[in-house]
Structure 1
Amino acid sequence: MQDSYQILETAIRAAGKRAQSFRQSGLSVTTKSRQDFVSQADVAVEAELKEVIRGLFPDDGFLGEESGLVQASNPENNGVWVIDPIDGTTNYVQGMDYWCVSVAYVKHKEIQMGFVYAPDREEFFIAKKGQGAYLNGVQLTIHEPKQGQALLGLGRSNRRPVQEYCDLILMLDKQNIEYRRFGAGALMLAHVSSGLVHGYFESHLNSWDALAGLLLIEEAGGQVTDFLKNDGLLNGNLVWAASPQLWQDLRPLLSS
């Protein structure tokens, strides 16, 4: 079974490199919504990963941003692989380095495994439940920010009112808390686990953007909201994830 996970890791790396080659050769981009774009790279990367996963784990289900849900052969005993082929598509299309491939595995209503690969940055994150979180082979441990130095990552979903996001910014300003919005939730969550930012909040995130990063944070010693409650796998959910004390301190203001 270990060989299967090594094959999957190799496939994720290859898929990220293929996305890079698509961008270098030119992209055909169509608009999905005001916030989202889809390119032939999204579709091709998801299809490539889906083929590998089906070969390795034929009884498991699949949930992809582009292709939707395929149920497991026996949902009670088999899990679901959840994939965002390119998170941060706008950044990717614009030639920025802040985008990633995100893959997670959910079984028995728990996130069992997560991979986040940012090819332009050469960052490969991996976490397995109960086995720690790693960036390029180095184990990660979350530390609390120094007093007055917390830096939050933010996301804004067009599925929620824009005024809600404006109120969030005003609240953080009153709390003297710095924030950044980089446009790729999966990678920002991974960067909580590595300490680049100390927490991440978004009022609604889809499961393919959230699950891998949430496991990374948990396995690195952070605290996260229960994303899978209320059928978060299919419906998405609020995300608040951070170092433990920061999570507790800001939870009443962010997740109420």
Structure 2
Amino acid sequence: MTQEQQQSLCALIRHLGAQAQTLRNAGLQVDKKARQDFVSHADLFVEKEIKHWLNSHCPQDGFLGEESGLQAGEHGIWVLDPIDGTTNYIQGMDYWCISLAYVRQDAIELAIIYAPDRDEFFFARRGKGAFLNDKRLMLREPDPETVVIGMGRSSRAPVEDYTRAIARVINAGMEYRRFGAGALMLAHVATGQVHAYYEEHMNSWDALAGMLLIVEAGGVSNAFLDDGGLLKGNLVLAGCVDVQARLSALLVGH
């Protein structure tokens, strides 16, 4: 992707974020996919517009979208959640985002996360650093007694697993938060607002962009793309180096 194309894609995502705000303010058509799992016509609109741009500018790449599924390609693949945190978005909360990642040869190469209501535009390229509104992000290890982690709950895992994980975290002297948009919580790990993120199972369109942001800010993540993670999803554990290791010992495999 050229610098000009990169700028054009970022501008499109900013524009579509504003369009999603306008659509919400005008009144949304909302359909239910499953229990507490919704899709609005804004989700469908944003995905359609980004997919069209990518097909026009990167025709040899594939595409994987939460709403439209997989389109095979010859080179890399773009992975999109048009609105992560749809319930928050529908309810008028500010904690939602557009999340886009580019994967090639089993490596996450590019990440964009945009939270329109918060005016937060995150961008990362592999080996080039992570940025929030053009300011470089650099993680620092927290005091072990002040650790706060994000913990997502997957509908594809038993709720009892989630409550047991919360108990282990609290008993280990850490705090946790859950805000209902995993992609944005991963991005906020890269800013240091929370120190790691854990979820027993995430889909790739929710996880990949935020995981690259964390790594490029100086953190670490598990190998999400192993074992078919791109299409099947996987566990997510990413954050500051020491915190991630502490959580891995506490939560993974239990």
Scaled by the length of structure 1, what TM-score is found? 0.97
State the match for 1:85 in structure 2: 82
Give me the whole-angstrom Cα distance separating, in 1, the residues matched to 2:180 and 2:51: 25
Give me the whole-angstrom Cα distance separating, in 1, the residues matched to 2:6 and 2:251: 36
State the match for 2:154 in structure 1: 157
State the match for 1:51 in structure 2: 52
Q: Does 1:231 find its partner at 2:232?
A: no
Q: Does 1:176 find its partner at 2:177?
A: no
Shift of 1:13: 0.7
Provide Cα deviations, 1:35-86, integer angstroms capped at 9, x if missing partner. 31001000000001111111110110000000000000x2xxx000000000
Q: Does 1:252 find its partner at 2:253?
A: no
Give me the whole-angstrom Cα distance separating, in 1, the residues matched to 2:227 and 2:23: 37
Gaps of 5+ in 1: none
Shift of 1:26: 0.2
State the match for 2:124 in structure 1: 127
State the match for 1:69 in structure 2: 70
Question: 1:216 pairs with 213, 227, 249, which one?
Answer: 213
Amino acid at match of 2:32: T
Q: For the Cα contact (< 8 Å) 1:35–1:158, is it kept in 2?
A: no
Shift of 1:147: 2.7
Q: For the Cα contact (< 8 Å) 2:47–2:81, is it kept in 1?
A: yes
Q: Does 1:23 find its partner at 2:24?
A: yes
**What secondary structure is seen at the aligned counterpart in 1 of 2:165?**
helix
Give me the whole-angstrom Cα distance separating, in 2, the residues matched to 1:178 and 1:64: 33
**What secondary structure is seen at the aligned counterpart in 1 of 2:93?**
coil
**What secondary structure is seen at the aligned counterpart in 2 of 1:216?**
helix
Give me the whole-angstrom Cα distance separating, in 1, the residues matched to 2:181 and 2:199: 11
Scaled by the length of structure 2, what TM-score is found? 0.98
The CA RMSD over aligned residues, in Å, is: 0.7
User: After TM superposition, where is structure 1 displaced by more than 6 Å over at least 4 residues in a row?
Assistant: none
Gaps of 5+ in 2: none
Amino acid at match of 1:239: V
State the number of aligned residues: 252
Q: For the Cα contact (< 8 Å) 1:134–1:140, is it kept in 2?
A: yes
State the match for 2:105 in structure 1: 108
Give me the whole-angstrom Cα distance separating, in 1, the residues matched to 2:83 and 2:247: 30
**What secondary structure is seen at the aligned counterpart in 2 of 1:231?**
helix
